[in-house]
Amino acid sequence: MQSRVPGGGGRAYWIPRGWYSGMNYVRDDRRPYSKIVAYAMRDLVVENVRSAPGLLELERRMNARYARYGKFAPDYMTQPLTNEIRIYSALKGNDGTGRGGGGGEGPGLMSPDVTWDSGGTEAPDETAHGDYMALVAGAGLAFDRAHLQYLVNGKLRITKTTRIVPAGVQWQVTRARPVLPAGYQGRAGTQ
């Protein structure tokens, strides 16, 4: 697939590209954690995918092939690599309307009040079987593991309140979204 629009954003499906993913975040001052969460998640995905057995070698071969043939269509064949792993993302994030406005994962997939990580994976697995199938499946497993690792180690913002009401005492526990990256030391605002 090749976009007919000049400078089509680096997507061209005529060259197999190893494993790759997409990520997005909401570009909205009312949601200051969105970009922080997206980039923390991206870094965990890259770390996990790089450690999947055999995957980094596949990525290096595919990146070299992509660079070799991509020079013939430089407006389309960008190299969005993070530590040798390809992750497509919009430079400015999503506008938060659910209509796209920033690329990455396309229209309608980002709900600014619910979705804090919008990503998907792709692997050259159309004819995969045997050991090669295990390799590309390992990449997907690494992607999933990164998300679980983020949730397990993330910083929860839990508020417990107690108040006296006419019939007794009311206890309430709330957890603000999103779960913040482990060790996050930024401002403690609310969303």
pLDDT digits (tens, 9 = 90+) for 122-147: 777 777 889 988 988 898 899 999 99
**Domain presence at residue 85:** yes
Instruction: Report residue 18 as tokens.
Output: 């190893």
Q: Is the pLDDT of residue 190 over 70?
A: no
- Whether residue 6 lies inside any domain: the answer is no
| HEC profile of 36-96 | HHHHHHHHHHHHHHHHCCCHHHHHHHHHHHHHHHHCCCCCCCCCCEECCEEEEECCCCECC
Tell me whether residue 161 is in a domain.
no
pLDDT at 108: 45
Is 22 a residue whose pLDDT tops 70?
Answer: yes
Closest CA to 17 of 121, 164, 141, 158: 121
Distance CA 191, CA 178 (A): 8
The answer to whether residue 25 sits within a structural domain is yes
Measured CA to CA, the distance from residue 136 to residue 173 in angstroms comes to: 41
Is 27 a member of any domain? Answer: yes
More confident residue, 184 or 17: 184
Residue 10 lies in a domain: no
Q: For the chain, what is the domain count?
A: 1
Assigned domain for 167 exists: no
Residue 110 lies in a domain: yes
Tell me whether residue 58 is exposed, middle or buried, using C-beta atoms within 10 angstroms of its C-beta: 0 to 12, 13 to 18, 19 or more. buried
Q: Is pLDDT larger for residue 110 or for residue 181?
A: 181
Which residue range is the domain that position 28 belongs to?
20-156
Angle (CA) 185 50 45, round 5°: 40
Rounded average pLDDT over 141-167: 93
Tokens of 173: 């526990």
Spatial contact of 34 and 136, defined as CB atoms under 8 Å apart: no
